[in-house]
Chain A
Amino acid sequence: MSASNVPADKLLKEHDAVVLTGGSREAARPADPRAAS
């Protein structure tokens, strides 16, 4: 079964707080500017 997509803005709208953990937390982390140099 394939995963259904849950848009992030919908999640934010429907909940008082959203906690990112594990891989989702890593994915949401801004890119390290030092990595580009």
Chain B
Amino acid sequence: MARIRPAAPGKGNPRPGARAAWTAACPIATAPAGITGAPTGCPVNNQIPDWNDLVYRGNWDEAARNLHSTNNFPEFTGRVCPAPCEASCTLNIDENPVTIKTIECEIADRAIAQGLKPDKPQRKTGKKVAVVGSGPAGLACAQQLARAGHDVHVYERWAKAGGLLRYGIPDFKMEKIHVDRRVEQMQGEGVTFHYNAHVGVECAGR
């Protein structure tokens, strides 16, 4: 008998709508205008109180738009980020913090379930840019440059894209399908990937 695969990471919550209920605990998200804009502890400045509030109101599409505006790959950070935001959460002073990382992951997964469409630029600049390395930094850089209209070429030393995302993070933390899906989207946006290309290694004897 074949093994039954365990549920994918982050899919363990059996109660529909429970995540929206968690966000209701966020004191910043439910605060009057003027309080938002406080430091969230997020290194990429995700607008956490804003999308917490959007999720609370059931507006998942706008939450995804907001999240993607500050974070190229929320499905990665929603799984492997150490979540300094939760340490910074006001509720963490004397209660459990809002489960921001889980909410981020859910926003990203719902957006992906609707299909990741390539975000093609309005115009091309005619500039050709090489990005050496296809780890998280290289992928994010390449995606931003492609969306700005540049012709982007990513050079990767190994056989597949992702760097530490693929070769350093085990499947039980983040499955490789997430990296593959983003690479596919980026190819649709015009990014060219060159695999098995080791840049800067000169010929022997030189």
Contacts and interface: CB of A to CB of B under 8 A. Distances in A.
Interface of A: 1-8, 11, 14-25, 27-28
A22 B200 contact: no
B142 to A, nearest CB: 8
A4 B201 CA distance: 9
Report the interface size class on chain B: 20 to 34
SS class, residues of chain A in contact with chain B: mixed
A6 B141 contact: no
B159 A16 contact: no
B65 interface: no
Interface in B92-146: 127-133, 135, 137-138, 141, 145
Contacts of B159: 1
18 contacts: A4-B197, A5-B198, A5-B202, A5-B203, A11-B199, A16-B128, A17-B130, A18-B132, A19-B129, A19-B132, A21-B141, A22-B133, A22-B138, A23-B163, A24-B200, A25-B133, A27-B200, A28-B200
